[in-house]
Amino acid sequence: MATITPVAEATDPRVDDYRDLTEADRRPDRPGGRGLVIAEGVVVVRRLLHSPYPIRSVLGVPRRIDELAEDLRVHDVPAYATDADTMATVVGFHLNRGVLAVADRAPAPDLAELLRTARVLAVLEGVGDHENLGSLFRNAAALGVDGVLLGPRCSDPLYRRSVRVSMGHVLRVPFTTLTGPWPASLDLLRAAGLTVAALTPSADAVPLARAGLAGQRVALLLGAEGPGLTDEALAAADVRVRIPMASGVDSLNVATAAAVAFHTVASPVG
């Protein structure tokens, strides 16, 4: 059971994991980053507490910690209780949500096992915007996608902003990195029986609803908002598909396009 521990001073070293978050966790996957998973708000902290990520501690105002009492029962970690002003001084900004939690990273899922069992995967190339990435994971969780594979130039899904925007669902959708030469590594997906379908606004692509992908094992290949997929990635796909749009609209936000594709291809859960 978590131990409620009062913290009266912002300089208390026990809360160093939370210190200056606007700088300290800017890129946790880069040198100088702490490499920690940080959740904000009762809903996201609760999802972190029920995830495979090893919890280090919780920091919050007493009222928010009380809301998480049942969730904290199974964790033998400190829950640091403080006032809003002290917490703001520690983290470097005022936190309206009133509670944070920090965890260590969990091992990535085994790629071979994910490819063997997944029916629908999202494969990302160059998705660097943390908010788009968080939204995409939230959509993946909602619409029955079995996992996300990160290709080159993708941001870290466990960055604090991505976790927050995903409403914590990045903590439940399995993801791992596709290593090896790109886009040749997409051959691994084909070898596992998945059809690689690349989303593009190109007029010569097959309309998504007519591509016959529903009910099939599919890897949906998505590129960065703006430039989209590289020519090499498009050429490596088995099929190129598009979402028909009204005249005058060039493309959709990548997370929105992903949601449309997920809904078309994956079976809704529940």
Q: Could you please state the CATH topology (level 3) that the domain comprising 3-103 is classified under.
A: 60s Ribosomal Protein L30; Chain: A; (3.30.1330)
- CATH superfamily of this structure's domain 111-265: SPOUT methyltransferase, trefoil knot domain (3.40.1280.10)
The CA distance from 68 to 59, in Å, is: 11
For the chain, domain boundaries: 3-103, 111-265
Smallest CA-to-CA distance from 61 within 91, 36, 35, 17 is with: 91
Q: pLDDT digit of tens for each residue in the chain (270 aa)?
A: 889 999 999 999 999 999 988 775 554 444 445 678 999 999 999 999 999 999 999 999 999 999 999 999 999 999 999 999 999 999 999 888 899 999 999 999 999 999 999 999 999 999 999 999 999 999 999 999 999 999 999 999 999 999 999 999 999 999 999 999 999 999 999 999 999 999 999 989 999 999 999 989 999 999 998 889 999 999 999 999 999 988 888 778 999 999 999 999 985 555
DSSP 45: H
Burial (0-12, 13-18, 19+ Cβ within 10 Å), 10: middle
Could you tell me the pTM of the whole model? 0.92
